[in-house]
Amino acid sequence: MSSLTQATNAKYDSLVNNLIKNGHIDRQESRNRSLTRKDSTMSHPDDEPEETPDKLIETIVELGIHNKDLLFLGKLQSLQSFSIIIRQLRSLENVQLSSAAQISRRKASKEADSASGSVTPPPPTITINCRENTKDVAALNYISNHLDTASLRTVIGHVLDALRPQGYFVMREHLQGSASGDNLTDKFHFRDPSVTCNMLNSITTADGLHGLQLISALSPDPVGGQQEMTWLYQKVAADAPAKQLQQFLDAQQYTKKGILKYEQIFGDRFVSTGGARTTKEFCQLLQLQRGQTVLDVGCGIGGSGFFMSEEYGAHVYGIDLSSNMISIGIDRRRTGGFHGVDFEISNVLTREFAPNSFDVVYSRDVILHIAEKKKLFEDIYNWLKPGGKLFITDYCCGVKEHNPDFQEYVKQRGYILLTVPAYGKLLEDVGFVNVRAEDRTKQFIGILRTELQNFEPQQSEFVENFSQEDYDEIVDGWNAKVKRCSAGDQAWGSFLAEKK
């Protein structure tokens, strides 16, 4: 097991320990509900071994959820593995997948349709008999690949009702990597992670009082196999504020179209200054070694991670709160045949990694979005191994009094900017040593001008794929950055630091 998998399991460990500490809440009346599905088969899209309890099951079982209520929805046809699970999960109860009804109605329907010569699979029924607010954990293992989005939404709504408040929802599914929403190949439904994320964020209990809050959604490097995602959510009050930053990033700052548009000027797989060129330059400072583990905070669509893995043989754990970014990153990983990068949708401010997990923490033009910089640097210090390195580039502000245009720009973007010296001092205050805080504003201006020069010849192709308005917005935006930097309002800093 890799140290990163261990770190991830450590996270699950602490979640489960919390579950064990918390008592059960009062149980309420049982309710029966049913759902009609359109899909007719429940076989697995992959030829995975049926009899070996797999990673998700291992995670749930090994972490010792004894005497806790666990609702498990698994593969209907893998009865053998289902019985293994039933044996292992002593408290499993109240799970009813109506396979018998499914089969009998399918036969009836075939007969009925034979007159017209067509066979239409009838909608089978999933019934969940479960009391509300009773389950500590609910797990859906590959079930979602058999349901269209509307049906999945209904199932998860029922599952959410069954979970107790603060209970955990785990869902593992296969991804195909499509960047454009629902994609049904034959019998199986492969959803783009940003579609699933939006769906999970918007589901509430029947009474509307509770919803789901993201903890993490991990898509490990598939190492040649099929890409998958394990979603981990918690049942919280529907009006819990934590979703706002993610919604802002996905719906405003980094829409899918916006990301693809900016990639045109930053360069393939990058959404930050200088793209591959600055990545190469800064990675040299880090003297990465083969096998080192890197946490890429705000990894975007994966350019830095792919580079570090390919050039240095590092293993990169890329986290980003934007589901759009991670969806595109996973797609790039699949289509580009990249390895060595795990992607995770999560908020770096709430994510917990085990202490001493990483050799390097790397972050490019991300922390401008984050107000709680001190807390973040303390966490990063903790996550780094002794002697580990931190490298950051970030938008900063100049030391002079700022003019109103700049203040308006910062406000409108929701940025929280420090001067380069204040940034460096904060890192020292947290305990980092050998802190090198460099004002790279001149380099930034040079890069912006080069990016513009390289972008202009692509105008007609860009306009074909996007629009003239998009083109003008980028050119105006780049010129405005040059102006703000030249006036001393905006700055760009790099920060290299070490843990003692």
Ligand X SMILES: C[S@@+](CC[C@H](N)C(=O)[O-])C[C@H]1O[C@@H](n2cnc3c(N)ncnc32)[C@H](O)[C@@H]1O
Q: Which residues bind ligand X (CB under 6 A)?
A: 245, 249, 254, 270-272, 298-300, 303-304, 319-322, 325, 347-349, 364-366, 369-370
Q: How far is the CB of 369 from ligand X (least distance, A)?
A: 4
Q: Which of 308, 299, 445 is nearest to 364 (CA)?
A: 299
Amino acid at 238: A
Q: How far is the CB of 234 from ligand X (least distance, A)?
A: 17
* 158 vs 373, beta carbon nearer ligand X: 373
How far from each other are the two terminal CA atoms of the chain, in whole angstroms? 27
Q: How far is the CB of 180 from ligand X (least distance, A)?
A: 19
Residue nearest to ligand X (CB): 300
Q: How far is the CB of 158 from ligand X (least distance, A)?
A: 31
Report the alpha-carbon distance of residue 141 to residue 54 in Å, rounded: 10
Report the alpha-carbon distance of residue 489 to residue 405 in Å, rounded: 9
Length of the chain (residues): 500
* 122 vs 274, beta carbon nearer ligand X: 274
Q: How far is the CB of 343 from ligand X (least distance, A)?
A: 11
Q: How far is the CB of 273 from ligand X (least distance, A)?
A: 8
Backbone angles phi, psi at 291, to 5 degrees: 85, -5
Dihedral of alpha carbons 272, 273, 274, 277, sign: negative
What is the SS3 assignment for 276?
Answer: helix
Q: Which of 87, 85, 84, 98 is nearest to 34 (CA)?
A: 98
Encoding tokens for residue 365?
């033009």
What is the SS3 assignment for 190?
Answer: strand
Q: How far is the CB of 366 from ligand X (least distance, A)?
A: 4
* 102 vs 393, beta carbon nearer ligand X: 393
Report the alpha-carbon distance of residue 23 to residue 279 in Å, rounded: 49
* 122 vs 318, beta carbon nearer ligand X: 318
Q: Which of 119, 134, 123, 145 is nearest to 25 (CA)?
A: 134
Integer angstrom CA distances of residue 305 from 8, 275, 293, 422: 18, 12, 11, 28
* 102 vs 490, beta carbon nearer ligand X: 490
* 136 vs 250, beta carbon nearer ligand X: 250
* 58 vs 372, beta carbon nearer ligand X: 372
Report the alpha-carbon distance of residue 369 to residue 58 in Å, rounded: 37
Q: How far is the CB of 303 from ligand X (least distance, A)?
A: 5
* 175 vs 366, beta carbon nearer ligand X: 366
